[in-house]
Structure 1
């Protein structure tokens, strides 16, 4: 997902990263093989209690802890009330498994930032820290680095009051690398330390997930073992359906980004599950519908391609939740608890006049369920800048 001059979580063996923002390049691959999925023998209690604390259908956005062509960042208190989950982008890599966080001065003082988080949480919002982005890496090679990771992330959660973390890993992992097992173990330890309120989200690009249907190796399906290993901890996954071209659906057809079928088909694969390697490989078991959302750009400047119209967002959500508005792909049955929509980004949305968030909020509220958290009283006052031009990108290659 994102950004310029940012850091954190990835593998020590790096493929080139992929991006939410249009300033980034897309996936360029190194060679690696994927290990078998790893499951911890001791599954912690389910996160049903945490899921029930969220609105039935959520609008999730990434907030820039940095300046980019969308403009300087701004305090959390100025964010529109329409968002349910605010993902702070991003943490930093302090080496040896340690994760840090450097607040952009434009966001206010640390005391103000912490107070803003508390105020937003009191208004029913969820605030999480994203680990990942385009640049930087963290290696979890051994028990010491894993312990450092757990302790440093827990320290940030405790200090700032974050509800949890978002894993935005945009670099591949190789078969046999310790980061797979160690990351799964680290997140399980974090969940035990934080308790049942721990929020965990993931934001992989679709080649790392649905791409496993075509080929279960190299980048293709590389996120599936992590999803599987953390399915008991996972609050929601929002695959990025843009900047990477189309993908192959489980019936063999190609689904193009920016379409209703892409968003519905990708979600159906996550919920119903699928076998890798054109149906003859390892089987990824489906997730609960409330654990799945789709990720799209907020507007014309926030991604190179894969932009969606408001009508596509509306139809995809009503198709998944109510079984109406579908295109050629329809779920086996409606998913009334399907979680919602995620976008890069809050800042681009405000830059572009809130067109994405206002539409998505209206659609989500019309789906039914407990979707009325306490109102916020702050009014966004955002400084806008001119939009940058997009740059050419390349599709993932095998």
Structure 2
């Protein structure tokens, strides 16, 4: 049934089905991860002295997520086409069970179940993107997929807030939100499964996408570390500040003078998702793989500058808190998003050797989420007396400087190393 249906899909239909299915699959996964970031634990006793309960929950979840990314460096890189759908559903189901155990266990020690919640979810991205990479339309598909985590985070926090306001227990709310979106996940995975693999023209223009075992992974890193390492350093900073902004959005909104924040989560993130989607999807029109890679590197630098510029304008009173969150979010995600799909997809094509972008994505992600945990711990240990807003503003300036500097290094190295052998895409 599936091969027959796949063979009937036209090229535009493949793009449409792949984009929608990828978006909704990852959107649904966020229902099992992000509702806990809503402003619901203000009255709960601290997990430990000096560590508030919400920070403990977030640290546990991100620690599990970071460990998952480390495991995913080999698992996702080696995962073939068989069994991906079952793996996605199984991993999300484990995360759902963890949310149920969280609701049943007594606070504050139930926070440890978020370690189990984050552990399986970290591999979902690589499995979903493996359906979409290596195609002529992968820039469009990747941009749509990336828009999902920008948009869905705000939506899931809003849904969580609304559920609590409607009377759902704060302990059961995360599992309840997951239950609402689980059917959509099943439909989305089925739709991904009916997609045909990349065809010969895809492979000619974007290189064949094959599993990468240890020898291939090490060879890739040894040959290209001078280009990859500066990008990973910048990505560590971007992941840390993006996660901090995402997980502690209620605290940032309150510190900026806003009180009713449930609607603001979606109101501030929707324009960001649309803006990033439009810019990154346009890269599909860039035919030369090296040119596309360098354009994304330039966008990363531009995003970092926007993050710092918008933050400075807000601190000087030039723009409001809402405008600042939108503009700084646009800059942040403009810099952050390419790492999650298109950047490494084009890098594989520009390098000109078969492989898969999942490996490089998970190398960057593993480092990035370790940095995210470190920043939250640092804030609680060293910066607890500093309010959320001041900490975030200072962090934004530091991030912008580091991303810009290391981004320029990587851009220069890419030009020197790949300038003479990037593949040119044909219409």
Which has the greater radius of gyration?
Answer: 2
Structure ranking higher in strand proportion: 1
Question: Shorter chain as normaliser: what TM range?
Answer: under 0.3
Tell me the TM-score normalised to structure 2 length.
0.23
Tell me the TM-score normalised to structure 1 length.
0.24
